């Protein structure tokens, strides 16, 4: 499943970049992130919970910063496994920051989410709605970090 979208943040690009490079701070904006542990400067482990219409799924996941162009773009890969279902997911995220004005930054993202096993059997339509809703909540939470 592929998704792409963008949102704007009322802050300069460097301040926005610093949030995206701080996994623990960013985790506070991720819907359903219950805990996060930094393993290295480019790798982290997380426990997440995702609510899908009729059930809640808990995951253990590992995220890794694959590539970064300072202040401009980053590529992250997250691999996770549900605690109570067979299967796994892999999410590749490409994020770009664009300075629209000195205090207005656009965050563009492309997401490629792949699922296997029972997780995949829940259906792309069901998952797509949940992922879109979570992405909107995430954007709103990140924007909230910059509200004075």
Q: Is it the case that residue 42 has pLDDT exceeding 90?
A: yes
How many Å apart are CA 115 and CA 56, to the nearest integer? 16
Which pLDDT score is estimated for 124?
A: 63
The percentage of the chain sitting over the pLDDT mark of 90, rounded to a whole number, equals 70
Sheet holding 55-69, edge to edge: 2-9, 104-115, 89-101, 73-82, 55-69, 43-52, 33-40
Confidence of residue 21 (pLDDT cuts 50, 70, 90): very high
Which pLDDT score is estimated for 100?
A: 97
Which pLDDT score is estimated for 63?
A: 95
For the stretch 52-71, pLDDT in tens is 777 788 999 999 999 999 99
How many Å apart are CA 92 and CA 106, to the nearest integer? 20
In the numeric block, the tokens 């207005």 are attached to: 104
The arithmetic mean of pLDDT across residues 1-17, rounded, is 95
Specify the CATH superfamily of domain 2-144: START domain (3.30.530.20)
How many Å apart are CA 58 and CA 124, to the nearest integer? 18
CB 89 within 8 A of CB 115: yes
Q: Is it the case that residue 132 has pLDDT exceeding 80?
A: yes
How many Å apart are CA 6 and CA 1, to the nearest integer? 17
Which pLDDT score is estimated for 130?
A: 80
CB 71 within 8 A of CB 13: yes
């Amino acid at each position: 499943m592929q998704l792409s979208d963008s949102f704007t943040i009322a802050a300069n690009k460097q301040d926005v970049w610093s949030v995206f490079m701080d996994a623990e701070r960013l985790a506070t904006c991720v819907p359903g992130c219950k805990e996060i542990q930094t393993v290295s400067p480019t790798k982290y482990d997380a426990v997440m919970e995702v609510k899908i219409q009729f059930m809640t799924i808990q995951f253990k996941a590992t995220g890794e910063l694959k590539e970064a162009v300072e202040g401009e773009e980053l590529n992250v890969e997250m691999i996770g496994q549900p605690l109570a279902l067979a299967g796994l997911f892999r999410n590749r995220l490409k994020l770009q920051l664009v300075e629209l004005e000195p205090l207005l930054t656009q965050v563009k993202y492309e997401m490629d989410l792949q699922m296997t096993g029972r997780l995949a059997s829940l259906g792309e339509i069901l998952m797509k709605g949940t992922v879109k809703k979570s992405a909107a909540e995430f954007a709103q939470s990140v924007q909230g970090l910059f509200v004075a």
